[in-house]
Amino acid sequence: MLRWSPSSATILPELILAVGAIVVLMVALFTPRRLQPWMAALAAAVLLSAAVFAGLDLIDPPGLTFFDTLAADGVGRWATLLLAVVALLVVGLSVEWFRPDARHAEYYVILIFATLGAVLLAGANDLMELVLAMMLSSVAGYTLAAFHRRSRGSSEAGMKYFLLGALANGAMVYGVALLFGLSGSTTFTDVGPGLEGADPLALVVGFGLVVVGVAFKMGVAPVHPWVPDVAEGAPAPAAAFLMIFGKIGALVFLARFVLILPDTQLGWRPLVALVAAVTMTLGNLAALRQDDVRRLLGWSAVSQAGYGLLAIVAIGRSDLAIPSLLMFLVAYSFGTIAVFGVVVALRGLTDRISYRGLAGPHPWLMGAMLIGFLSFIGIPPLGGFAAKLLLMGAVIDAGYTWLAVLTVINSVVSLVYYFRVLGPAYQEKPGGRRPTMGRLAGASVAFAAIGVIAVGVVAQPLLQAWNTLDL
């Protein structure tokens, strides 16, 4: 049965991103060097229009497109919208950061491609589409991580990111082959029924290997080691993006994916719960001693990925699961942009000690960092709290109370390392002002910080929209 969606508007955001990337590249080729930073504006325009069209799509009825290989449902559109906004904010952070780079228009091109990869991943309704979306986002990700071509850290981060990603993707592809073999199809619409009564052993291995790939994308144990390295080594704006985009794409994909799996042969729920538990604990504990703020943020991103998995554990069992997933993604994205943005705005200042007494001379930046960190801990009424509330409610609802308890314990642990940075910033005698990165970065930080507050306080419109969503 062919179900070709006649309305190309359904995939307009994807088209805009793909074409837009090429347009940016072409224009950059014929633009003199001093105008290169304006490519950021162009990229921003592309991302903005993608965001606008994704937003307009929200009212469309959900459906599948391209012969069921791509889902165009509410969750996917929200993910698209969020990704575009995140990329937009990252562009804002990047302008000044990359200005000295002789040739950085490609950075924006790759950024758009990475966004597109994550968008496709979030919408993937086909195993092959999964593989290619994963490849697109990964390849773009490696490039972003290594984009400082004279920086020892950046190149190392890119290399490690690649090495781990290649292995994880290799494993995932084999898993895809296994699932294809079991079900006889790669399209989810057929995979689900095809897997009914499938051999449990092969199913477990196939699912496990796919999860390895998804875990890599999200930075979840045991495929997390790239996260702190990339957070520390990659260009800071790119690092912020890399912390976020994989989580959005992969979490939404995973939610879509597990729903087609037969519950009877495969204990995917406890498996995801275990991975979530290990990830959040590991990330938090490892972050405890970090003196490098970016690396600390990397480990914190690992633990946050663990929290995000709670939504997957509850999916299908609690009506809070999907709202909690989206709330987590939104809150996490804005929070990460805010805190990484502060690092960017302080020209990459990353030594914990250097943050001493900064609250005096930089009240707004440190205020944004405070809001971001408090949101990560889950202090109300910030977005992070709304996310944790929903996540924990969802897992308790799904019968995984122990996971909620563990989340609580981890939240407490996380407080320690966040306040190892914030404490001195506020307690010590105010120091001198530090050079900053310019207005645009500050504006992105402000937008993200306000977003963190807003999604917590004005959660109703979002939740109302999300409550009815289905995968």
Partner 1 sequence: MVWLPILFPLAGAVAVLAMRRRRPWLGPIAVIALLGSLVSAVLAAFSDATSTWSWGAGIDLSLEVADAGRVMVVLVPLVAVAVVLYAALSMRDDPALPRLFALLAGFVAAMELLVVAADFLTLLIAWELVGAASWALISHDWRNLKAPTSAKEAFVTTRFGDLGLYIAAGAAFAATGSFAYSDLASGADPLWLGVVAGGVVLAAAAKSAQLPFSPWLFSAMAGPTPVSALLHSATMVAAGAYALIRLQPILSAVPWFGPLVVGLGLATALAGGLVAFAQTDLKRALAGSTSAQYGLMLVATGAGFTAAGMSQLTAHAFFKALLFLGAGVALHSAGTLDLGKLRLGSTMPRIAVLFGIGAAGLAAVPPLGAAFSKEAVLGAAFDAGFWVGSGVLVAGFLSALYASRLHVLAYGPGPPVELKSRPHRVEVFALAVLAALTVVLSVIWLPGSKELITEVSSGSFAEGEPWELGLSLLTIAMALGVVWLLWRRKVLVTAGFPQRFRIFVAGWWGIPTAARRVIIDPVIRLSRDLASADFSVVDAVVRGIAASAAGFGDRLRRRVETAVDWIAMGVGSRTLLTATVSQKIDDDGVDAAVEGIAEGFRFGGEQSQRTQTGMSHHYYTMLVAGSVVVLIVAAIWR
Partner 2 sequence: MSLEAVLFVSAALFGIGVYGALSQQSFVMIMMGLELMLNATILAAVAFWWGTTNGNPEGQLLAIVVMAVMAIEAAIGFALVTNVYRVRKADITEKLRKLRN
Partner 3 sequence: MLSLTIVVPVLAAIVLLAMPKDRPQMARWVAFGVSLVPLTLIVVAWTRFEGGPEFEMVESLSWIPSIGVSYQVGLDGLSLPLVALTTVLFSASILFPVDLRGRARQYFAAFLFLEGVSLGLFLALDLILFFVFFDLSLVGMYFLIAIWGHGSAHRSALKFFIYTLVGSLALLLGILGIYLNSGEPRTFDMIEIITTQPLPAAGLGSVLIFWAIAFGFMIKTPLAPFHTWLPPAHVDAPAPASTILAGVLLKMGTYGFVRILLQMMPETFDRFSFPIAVLAVVSIVYGALVAMAQTNLKRLVAYTSVNHMGYVILGVAVAANIGAPGAARSIALTGATIEMVAHGLITGAMFLLTGSILARGETYEMDEYGGLASRAPALTGAMLLAAFASLGLPGLAGFVAEFQIFAGTLGVYPWLAGIGLLGIVITAALFLRMVQRVFLGPLPDRWSAWTDLGKWELAALVPMLALVVVIGIAPAWLVDVIDSASRAITGG
408 binds, among partner 1, partner 3, partner 2, none (CB under 5 to 8 A by kind): partner 3
Q: According to CB under 8 A, which residues from 344 to 363 bind partner 3?
A: 363
Place of tokens 């969802």: 394
180 vs 127: CA distance, rounded Å: 8
CB of 157 to partner 1, least distance (A): 11
Using the minimum distance from each CB to partner 1, give the nearer residue, 164 or 387. Answer: 164
Q: Please say whether the beta carbons of 97 and 437 come within 8 A.
A: yes
Is residue 268 near partner 1 by the rule CB under 8 A?
yes
User: Do 323 and 304 contact (CB within 8 A), yes or no?
Assistant: no
* Between 207 and 307, CB nearer to partner 1: 207
**Are residues 403 and 319 in contact, defined by beta-carbon separation less than 8 angstroms?**
no
Nearer to partner 3, 197 or 423 (CB): 423
Q: Rank residues 319 and 351 by Cβ distance to partner 3 and give the closer one.
A: 319
Quick one: which segment of 115-123, 202-210, 308-316, 461-469 binds partner 1 (CB under 8 A)? 202-210
**C-alpha radius of gyration, the chain, whole number:** 21
Give the residue from 383, 365, 375, 448 showing the smallest Cα distance to 415.
375
Binds 142: which of partner 1, partner 3, partner 2, none (CB < 5-8 Å by kind)? partner 2
Q: What are the tokens at 265?
A: 């042969």
DSSP state of 471: -
To partner 3, the closest distance from the beta carbon of 436 in angstroms equals 20
Other C-beta atoms within 10 Å of 160: how many?
18
* 341 forms part of the interface with partner 3 (CB under 8 A): no
Work out the number of other CB atoms within 10 angstroms of the CB of residue 263.
Answer: 12
Direct distance between the N- and C-terminal alpha carbons of the chain, in angstroms, rounded to an integer: 21
Amino acid at 366: M
168: partner contacted, choices partner 2, partner 1, partner 3, none (Cβ within 5-8 A by kind): partner 1
Applying CB under 8 A, among 267, 316, 348, 380 the residue interacting with partner 3 is 380
Q: Does residue 64 sit in helix, strand or coil?
A: strand
| Residue 176 contact among partner 3, partner 1, partner 2, none, beta carbon within 5 to 8 Å by kind | partner 2
Write the binding mask 396 to 435 for partner 3: x where contact by CB under 8 A, - elsewhere. Answer: xx---x--xx--xx-xx--xx--x---xx-xx--------
- Contact range with partner 3 by CB under 8 A, out of 35-43, 110-118, 263-271, 376-384: 376-384
* Contacting residue, 35, 58, 163, 353, with partner 1 by CB under 8 A: 163
Q: Which amino acid would we find at residue 371?
A: I
Q: What whole-number distance in Å separates Cα of residue 397 and Cα of residue 384? A: 19
Q: Which residues of 4-26 are buried (b: 16+ CB within 10 A; e: fewer)?
A: ebeeeebbbbbebbbebbebbbe
Asked if 67 interacts with partner 3 (CB under 8 A), we say no
Task: Answer for the pair 171, 156: CB distance below 8 angstroms, yes or no.
Answer: no
Using CB under 8 A as the binding rule, whether residue 322 contacts partner 3 is answered as: no
- How many CA atoms are closer than 13 Å to the CA of 397, on its beta-carbon side? 20
Rounded Cα gap, residues 220 and 204, in angstroms: 19
Two structure tokens written together for 391: 């996540």
Sorted by sequence, the CB contacts under 8 Å of residue 97 that are 6+ apart come out as 235, 236, 237, 344, 348, 437, 441
Q: From residue 206 to residue 245, what is the string marking binding to partner 1 with x (rule CB under 8 A)? A: -xxx-xx--------xxx-xx--x----------------
Q: Whole-angstrom Cα distance, residue 64 to residue 187?
A: 11
Residue 173, binding choice from partner 1, partner 2, partner 3, none, Cβ under 5 to 8 Å by partner class: partner 2
Which residue stretch of 147-155, 261-269, 338-346, 446-454 sits at the interface with partner 1 (rule: CB under 8 A)? 261-269
The answer to whether 202 contacts partner 1 (rule: CB under 8 A) is: no
Interface region with partner 1, contact rule CB under 8 A, candidates 189-197, 239-247, 264-272, 345-353: 264-272
The Cα angle at residue 408 between residues 402 and 414, in degrees rounded to 5: 135
Q: How many CA atoms, within 13 angstroms, populate the side-chain half-sphere of residue 345?
A: 28
Q: Contact positions toward partner 3, by CB under 8 A?
A: 320, 323, 363, 374, 377-381, 385, 388-390, 392-393, 396-397, 401, 404-405, 408-409, 411-412, 415-416, 419, 423-424, 426-427, 459-460, 463-464, 467
Q: Contact positions toward partner 1, by CB under 8 A?
A: 159-160, 163-164, 167-168, 171, 200-201, 204-205, 207-209, 211-212, 221-223, 225-226, 229, 266-268, 270-271, 274-275, 281-282, 284-286, 288-289, 413, 416, 420
